[in-house]
A and B are shown apart, each in its own frame.
Chain A
Amino acid sequence: MSTTTTEIARFTYVRPTDLAAAVAAGAAAGPGGRYWAGGTDLMLEWQRKQRPIETSIDITGLTELRGILIDPSEIRIGALTTLAEIERSAALHPDLESLAAIAAVMCTPQTRTLATVAGNLCNASPAADLAPPLIVLGARIATATSDGGRELELEDLFTAPKQTVLTDGELLTHITIPLSGQRAASYGRIARTVVDIALTLSACSLTLDQQGTVSAARIAFGSVAPTPLRALSGEQLLLGKTLAELTPALLAEAAAAAAGDANPIDDIRTSAAYRRHTVRVLTQRALAKTVARLSRGGDQ
């Protein structure tokens, strides 16, 4: 490495070993502070000088934020659970199958060793692959700050590309998936190659009540709007229906309505028109797969 006259300003590096120390460091660092989990996105931003960092708070020593816990009412995913761990989690619970399958095609095996769930969400890319499958499972996130913390719906985290509602020093600590009745989920994803980010992603879930009618329907998209997006318009058409009433025609209608919520752009990867078309097709297929799974008795 040669030293040039315009040496980049280096950041301060701190490595807290527990949550209280981490959020204290986050509060002290203010707007120039960044929590460093896997760091795979931050490292690139830093090297490309896309975003200034004054203090890097390396939270990888916070073992309490690692791993997946399953109890009768919820699945709890620690913020620092890696994509590689998510990839291997399918056998833990049927609700994790879509998430695991998507994690398996994200970035590269090498990056999946480092990259974390919370990093994928907090980096807030419109193409954050884990967001749609988590949103359709009704995921909530918990955060910590030096003076408390809060819980919110994952779908409310994102505000714009690379922007979230998290305040300076606020740390996402875990994600919870409430378990509910007879639920099945599925997804469709199109990318140019196995290592590329999604051109379009659609995930959906359907929950049946005791009477066998749809009590909850969720559809969420990636890469077709400035943020991961819940497509409410398509969901309405599915509520209150029995499995027999979820005909291919109705699913097609719901998929078309959902696709109407998409707000894609033309970019280097593909066109808005392609995204608008494929998000409808992927949604229709994902809904059909979900109905088929429920017909076989659902995920659980």
Chain B
Amino acid sequence: MIIVRVNGREQTFEPAADTSLANMLRDEAGLIGVRVSCAEGECGACTVLLDEQPVTSCLMLAHQAAGREVTTIEGFGSPEHLHPIQQAFIEEQGFQCGFCTPGFIIAAAAFLAENPSPTEAEASIAMSGNICRCGAYPYIVRAVMTAAERLRGATA
């Protein structure tokens, strides 16, 4: 049995030894905003924050998250109060089908926490761990830049 703090709430799980964190979050916690696409750590759709740092949750054992804090897209904002990054993705149309979007938003959150005033090139490189099969990349980078501006304004 392991205890993981998921989206601010301590939960206990009993994953098998080789269950990935992504599958545990989806199957046991019902957090289907964690998208599993490639299951090989290439596409970033399953990105979550582990102690504030971005990880591809398909590429780690659920057991590796024992005693740690995990944030999924469900831990960002709410339908009534969207997170500024979510709002920016909507306004800048930073998606088409939306399947990859949770991963992009979480990767963007981790990146902007570290670099609040990025250049477009930096934002683009920071999103290199996420794949958008619709090819919305220019809009995604614009969304990250808009989100950066909003978040800077919010803390100023």
Chains A and B come from one and the same complex: yes
Give chain A's interface secondary structure class: mixed
Interface string of A134-152 (1 = CB under 8 A from B): 0000000000000000000
Number of A-B pairs, beta carbon distance below 8 Å: 89
Task: Tell whether A194 pairs with B125 under 8 Å between CB atoms, given A10-B17, A15-B63, A109-B110.
Answer: yes
Q: Do A195 and B129 touch (CB < 8 A)? A: yes
Residues of A within 8 A of B (CB): 1, 8, 10-13, 15, 36, 38-40, 43-44, 46-47, 56, 58, 60, 84, 107-111, 113-114, 193-195
Pick from B20, B54, B66, B128: contact of A193, CB below 8 A.
B128
How far in angstroms is the closest Cβ of chain A from B98? 19
B60 and A108 form a contact (CB under 8 A): no
Chain B residues with Cβ below 8 Å from A1 are 23, 27
The interface size of chain B toward A, counting residues with CB under 8 Å, comes to 32
Asked if residues B128 and A194 are in contact (CB atoms below 8 Å), the reply is yes
Q: Do B40 and A44 have beta carbons less than 8 Å apart?
A: yes
Out of A8, A56, A84, A111, which one reaches B56, CB within 8 Å?
A111
| A39 contact from B23, B27, B60, B126, Cβ within 8 A | B60
Asked if B90 is at the interface (CB within 8 A of a chain A CB), the reply is: no
Q: Give the nearest-CB partner of B67 in chain A.
A: A61
**Mask: chain B, 98-133; 1 = CB below 8 Å from A; 0 = not:** 000000000100110000000000000110111000
17 contacts between A and B (CB under 8 A): A1-B23, A13-B18, A15-B63, A15-B66, A38-B60, A47-B40, A56-B17, A56-B61, A58-B64, A108-B42, A108-B129, A109-B107, A109-B126, A111-B56, A113-B53, A114-B55, A194-B125
Closest A residue to B47 by beta carbon equals A110
> In the assembled complex, which residues on chain A have CB atoms less than 8 Å from the CB atom of B50?
113
Residue from A12, A108, A110 within 8 A of B17 (CB atoms): A12
In the complex, how many angstroms separate the beta carbon of A63 from the nearest chain B beta carbon?
13
Inter-chain CA distance A55–B22, complex, in Å, is 21
Distance in angstroms from B101 CB to nearest chain A CB is 16
Interface residues of B (CB under 8 A from A): 16-18, 20, 23, 27, 39-42, 44, 47, 50, 53-56, 58-61, 63-64, 66, 107, 110-111, 125-126, 128-130
Cα A34 to Cα B59 with chains together (Å): 16
Chain A contacts for B128, CB-based, 8 A: 108-109, 193-195
Judge whether B61 and A58 touch: CB under 8 Å. yes
Instruction: Given A58-B64, A114-B60, A194-B125, decide whether A10 and B44 contact each other with a Cβ distance below 8 A.
Output: no
* Chain A residues within 8 Å of B63, by CB: 13, 15, 58
Complex CA gap A108/B125 in Å reads 9
